[in-house]
Amino acid sequence: MLTVANTTKWLQLFTDQVNTNQDALNQYDTPIGDGDHGSNLARGTTAMMDSLNKADLKSVSDVWKTAAMAIISKVGGAAGPLYGTAFLEMAKASKDRPADDIAVQPLIDASLKGLLKRGGAVPGDKTMVDVWTDVDADLEKGPLTSDQVKTAVESTKPMEAKKGRASYLGKDSVGHLDPGSVSSGFFFESLIQEGEIQ
Partner 1 sequence: MSYGILVVSHVKEIADGVLKLIAQVAADVPITTAGGTDDDGIGTSVAKITSAVEHNEGDEILAFYDLGSAKMNLDMVMELSDKKIHLYNVALVEGAYTAAALLQAGQDLPTIEKQLQPLKIK
Measure CA 196 to chain center.
Answer: 19
Q: How would you class 101 by CB atoms within 10 Å of its CB: exposed for 0-12, middle for 13-18, buried for 19 or more?
A: exposed
Stretch of 73-81, 90-98, 104-112, 134-142 lying at the interface with partner 1 (CB under 8 A): 73-81
The answer to whether the beta carbons of residues 70 and 42 sit under 8 Å apart is no
Contact pattern for partner 1 over residues 99 through 138, marking x by CB under 8 A:
-------------------xx-------------------
Q: Does 30 bind partner 1 (CB under 8 A)?
A: no
CA atoms of 67 and 70, how far apart (whole Å)? 5
Rounded Cα–Cα distance for residues 46 and 190 (Å): 15
Distances (CA, A) of 189 to 24, 80, 162, 171, 172: 16, 20, 26, 29, 29
By CB under 8 A, name the one of 12, 16, 31, 34 that touches partner 1: 34
Closer to partner 1 at the Cβ: 10 or 83?
83
Interaction mask 156-185, partner 1, x per CB under 8 A = -------xxx--------------------
| Interface ranges with partner 1 (CB under 8 A) | 34, 36, 40, 72-78, 80-82, 84-85, 118-119, 163-165
